[in-house]
Chain A
Amino acid sequence: MKRTRLQIGAPPKGRVEVLVYSILRVDATPRDLLGTLGVDTSPTLVHCEGFRSFVWTGRKSGNADLLLSVVCGNGQNWIESFSVSAAGSAGSWFRVEVKPPKIYPAYRFIVVSGGAQEVRSKLIGYKQEVF
């Protein structure tokens, strides 16, 4: 039998960027994907004008749901926010689409969990309308 995996080079550049990769211990205290505490503090990402949407993927170690709050603004002022959640048993993977209502220069991605757990996650940004 013949089997060939041809895709060995880099995938197409420019449309998608890996923006954050993090390993976080999360609990009921709001903290962003970079681990900084608080809600209305420094942005997780800046210079995001080119991104239309994001996908947050990862693996959670506990059973509690994850709540991802996305605060949008220009870096100095936060203008609006919305939330998405990721459910699943301990050790399960999750995928959450994050589509801001408008394009903003800066975002703060804040995670909370009802129970303490480790979250290994990755945030990728899409430069065009995807979903």
Chain B
Amino acid sequence: MRFTIYQESRQGGRENNEDRLAHCYSRDALLMVVADGMGGHYYGEIAAQIAVQTLTDAFQREARPSLMDPFLFLQKNIGNAHHAILDYSAAHKLEDSPRTTIVACVVQDNVAYWAHAGDSRLYLIRKGRIIGQSRDHSQVQLLLDEGLISPAQAETHPERNKVYSCLGGNHPPEVEFSRKTPLESGDLIVLCTDGIWGVSPGNTLVEALRNPNLMQAVPQFMQQAERWGGAHGDNLSMIVVRWEENYTELTQSAVSTQTMGLNEITTKLDEFGRNPNYKSELSDDEIERAIEEIRAAIDKYSFKK
């Protein structure tokens, strides 16, 4: 597999970040997950963390190095995540169980498989055009589908944040699966929360991703989205992957999994909690002293010429 990937989550104007995201890959399979813990529910971030962790843990167990059945994997583990959240709230006697949306995507053998519940979205972009998109599980989307409101009205509809499917709720989630979608070199897959798509007008996301340097393009775009979100804007999170099976287009930042062991998995998931603090802070003085010490050792042990 060959791809370039970028993931980032920002707090926006909120007091804490209830979005969680992760990607992990083995030699032959890639998993990406974005979850948006739901505001208004207690511990939204916990629900999101459980969801993301359930999927990545399962991936680490099952991708050896490929998944037997990616759709089955998504179905089973999204279900497990839902139950894990319910178990958590039962164990902690929470009045109202925490909830989260989820969108997860597996790429294996150049085929993408995705599933979602709620309004976190996946876009598939080919040659600068959106050719695939997940359909939000929201009232507004239903109204839109039935032609009762226009896309412009949907953008400002007061209930546009209400979703009817999520993990951790009283009803089992309604999980919607994509088709098996073969990828072409250069295809972009974007997973994002409503903090991103809810504020970006029209075609701005697609335009921003025309920049071939994702490591630049995505943070720039998120910066912009954060500004659109304003002082009290929602959390913003996104993962963008560019699929690059074409070996002639080597870019510096691409990840190649050819040299990975069969049972090796690389995971990029931030630790639970905010900003882990490192006990072992090294002061400037200590650095200087360490260098002095090493230089002294070099002098002492080297044969004077």
- Does chain A bind chain B? no
